[in-house]
Structure 1
């Protein structure tokens, strides 16, 4: 096939709609680099908006040092969140609309004012935050076996699937988010533990990085948007009947079930 930005965006959205995984693009598209990948990501967003979805925020991927080392990069990536990706609290994850979902716990910021780079610091980023929440992201790669290179996953909107945020909303003032503990339970068993420091040393660093990275593409983080700052632990598979809880020290707990 002829590789173009529109063709790649079509293939990714078609795979998502059909629940069919694809071979990673970079196996046959040697010219696919990060610039092209973000253009594909933006094209898929434009098509989502045309079909009636609305932007609700952004998410970061590869925020942990371990994940960056595995992918051979030294910086996280950004991707889009729309209202179609948001699950309400207590709503089961619709497995019949996903390919091979996995779950990871995250710290979530909701912005009270716009945040635009460049030059945003973690302190400035936190000052723009209205509330902090516990969160879970359900990632779902469109590539076979969750196997991809960096440009592939950027094009695929960082394996976006579903997101859910806890109802408890706290102000960042007084919280030590670097030390905020998180325990991930799968069907009653503890499988992972972490603290907020797993995300760029502090989740506010991830938020600042998102603002500065998006500024290079002329994008401002808008008031009211949510920012999912990246997985605190490795992701775990989600199957029918699974009950997964992300329990935080101060931010409360978030639960997802597979149905």
Structure 2
């Protein structure tokens, strides 16, 4: 790679880190570097994730983003993306988080998977996912944008680790006793008031398909989904903005519920 391209990636990686540290979003990277492509963006993402262990963080899994088609349309994205989940991001069900630690937090209702064995692509199918899954749980993913989201592109979303910021996990249900995940309905609420409704079908037709997707996409980067890791397959509804003094909750019927309060 040419020195100029290396410098571009290095500077592009610095900006989301600074935005997270200062809790102040930066201008879209695609505006500053119009020729930044998805390969560059994933390299930026990986560069920032690779710095985390030095600060004491551990990767505990991955998330798929932009899995519902309506989420891809505003960005002009033709496929989902993926990001990383870190142990420092996890919040307790029913607990509180500081709204000030995020730039523009949203609460996305999702079904969380915990893997009993690895899923390494290419060639992972929807049918491979249930047999590799130990348990599933209701979850809220705190999604944050460290980049001004008025005109972001897929490149910006990927470079920003797909908005990965803070999973909140409810009680686990062994996969053998889980309901049909495509048919699971969810009702997200803010301060007790319903804000949307959706089902597992919204996520690539089935949440397991949205677990298979990053397993295959990660293969191009020399990795995959590991045993013991967790996976968030994407939002089942729109994700409302949440601020201080508000409570986000999602009710998943037989699968249970999950909540978190912002202070």
Please confirm whether the aligned pair reaches a TM-score higher than 0.5, indicating the same fold: yes
Following TM superposition, by how much is the alpha carbon of 1:70 offset from its aligned partner in structure 2, in angstroms? Answer: 2.4
Q: Is the 8 A contact 2:38 2:155 kept in 1?
A: yes
Following TM superposition, by how much is the alpha carbon of 1:90 offset from its aligned partner in structure 2, in angstroms? Answer: 2.4
- Partner of residue 247 from structure 2, selected from 237, 243, 248: 243
**Residue in 2 that maps onto 1:4:** 8
- 1:66-94 alpha-carbon deviations (Å, 9 max, x no partner): 11222222321011111111112222122
Q: Secondary structure at the match of 2:189?
A: strand
- Partner of residue 131 from structure 1, selected from 135, 139, 143: 135
- Partner of residue 18 from structure 2, selected from 3, 9, 14: 14
2 CA distance for matches of 1:23 and 1:151?
Answer: 13
Aligned residues: 258
Q: Secondary structure at the match of 1:13?
A: helix
Over aligned residue pairs, what C-alpha RMSD do you find?
A: 1.4
2 CA distance for matches of 1:79 and 1:145?
Answer: 17
- Partner of residue 208 from structure 2, selected from 196, 199, 204: 204
1:30-179 matched pairs, under 5 angstroms: 30-145=34-149, 147-172=151-176, 175-179=179-183
- Partner of residue 32 from structure 2, selected from 10, 13, 28: 28
Following TM superposition, by how much is the alpha carbon of 1:99 offset from its aligned partner in structure 2, in angstroms? Answer: 1.2
Structure 1 residue runs of 5 or longer lacking an equivalent are none
1:210-229 matched pairs, under 5 angstroms: 210-229=214-233
TM-score by length of 1: 0.96
TM-score by length of 2: 0.94
Question: Quick check: 1:190 aligned with 2:194?
Answer: yes
List 4+ stretches of structure 1 deviating above 6 A: none
Following TM superposition, by how much is the alpha carbon of 1:144 offset from its aligned partner in structure 2, in angstroms? Answer: 2.1
